[in-house]
Homo-oligomer: A and B are copies of this chain.
């Protein structure tokens, strides 16, 4: 009996210690590296914009050129979620004759042109398991003009019910670009939403630039209750400001994420010519667009002087990244990346990893420089796997795995 116990202990010892004991130092070093590799989980999506996990296996995916889908990542089956309001635009009809040269990338290409339009962000209520609320931002159409809108609805049998508009970014306006639409629930239970200024050409700015105009809802970040009502502890922007504004001076921000260690919210922002930014979201701050920018302006635009306090970005890029849906990484596949911020980009630099300590950025890594995709969103599944969505006509869901493991 005692002898058996000795053998048992020996076996236990050998088994428990094997991973370290049997490997050479070279192998150990190799094992500790992060060698991120892309695994295509699914393709054939219509420019997927956002993804919200119902479980490790089942996710809702919002397509910019398509629909809200419930996708099974294992069986690869798709179910369309119905019940959207009729104002959900499925295309943008743009009168290009209204746009002087440099104010629209399609300027001079004829008169009217049709573009796809649709959904942006899809997120779940923090208490989704009990209340089934989901939140979707999208392009709303009214008389051939467009605005960013946020609805919530109950997801029952693959259909939205009890749908309610909780934010509508007025005015309805022309133009293809810069709807914003990023959303996140903060640790305070409030819903934060980015609203773009809806311009492409800087020379179309009014005398008081949109993002600086307290009475224009565009170019702002909002903080609202999940039913759309305005929290009493929101910052005071000005007497006449649009309700719900939490921060201003926003051009085209699309991504928001919360640092799991501090609860602080970071957001990405696009510049016109370079000037892409990473910002820390703080109550009542003015992020300066278009008065200040780390980048340039189109069409020789010169912003007016405006005597306000502006908040500078925590990081900006020297080249155009077009940073979008970002996330802090807490999975186990890349322990080296624990709590790092992952920022995908639409433009040539497409996958960035930042080490952040409280409010200070320590390092900035560009990954996959030899394998670039137009990437819309980085998102983590409940079990900590890292996914990216590619902004392509044949859009993909890609899982990032560690080839060194």
Tell me whether A363 and B362 are in contact (CB under 8 A): no
Interface residues of A in 99-145 (CB under 8 A from B): none
A239 within 8 A of B: no
Output the least CB separation between A314 and chain B (Å): 10
On chain B, the residues within 8 Å of A318 by CB distance are 318-319
Output the least CB separation between A206 and chain B (Å): 33
A360 within 8 A of B: yes
How distant is the Cα of A283 from the Cα of B53 in the complex, in angstroms? 53
On chain B, the residues within 8 Å of A34 by CB distance are 336
Q: How many copies does the complex hold?
A: 2
On chain B, the residues within 8 Å of A362 by CB distance are 35, 367-370
Interface residues of A in 12-50 (CB under 8 A from B): 12-13, 16-17, 19-21, 25, 28-30, 32-36
Closest to A16 in B: B17
Number of interface residues of A (CB under 8 A): 43
How distant is the Cα of A334 from the Cα of B62 in the complex, in angstroms? 40
Interface segment among A2-10, A230-238, A265-273, A298-306: the answer is A2-10
On chain B, the residues within 8 Å of A361 by CB distance are 369-370
A159 within 8 A of B: no
Tell me whether B369 and A29 are in contact (CB under 8 A): no
How distant is the Cα of A338 from the Cα of B32 in the complex, in angstroms? 9
Tell me whether A33 and B336 are in contact (CB under 8 A): yes
Per-residue contact bits, chain A 331-361, to B (CB 8 Å; 1 contact, 0 not): 0100111100000000000000101000011
How distant is the Cα of A33 from the Cα of B334 in the complex, in angstroms? 9
Closest to A362 in B: B370
On chain B, the residues within 8 Å of A19 by CB distance are 20
Tell me whether B29 and A338 are in contact (CB under 8 A): yes
On chain B, the residues within 8 Å of A365 by CB distance are 353, 363-366
On chain B, the residues within 8 Å of A20 by CB distance are 19-20
Tell me whether A32 and B29 are in contact (CB under 8 A): no
How distant is the Cα of A2 from the Cα of B362 in the complex, in angstroms? 55
Taking A9-B9, A29-B332 as known contacts, 17 extra A-B pairs with beta carbons closer than 8 A to each other, sorted by chain A number, are A2-B3, A2-B6, A9-B10, A19-B20, A28-B335, A32-B335, A32-B336, A33-B335, A33-B336, A36-B363, A315-B369, A318-B318, A361-B369, A361-B370, A362-B370, A363-B365, A364-B369
Closest 5 CB pairs of A and B: A365-B365, A32-B335, A29-B335, A29-B338, A318-B318
A-B contact pairs, 6 of them (CB 8 A): A5-B6, A9-B9, A19-B20, A35-B355, A353-B365, A361-B369
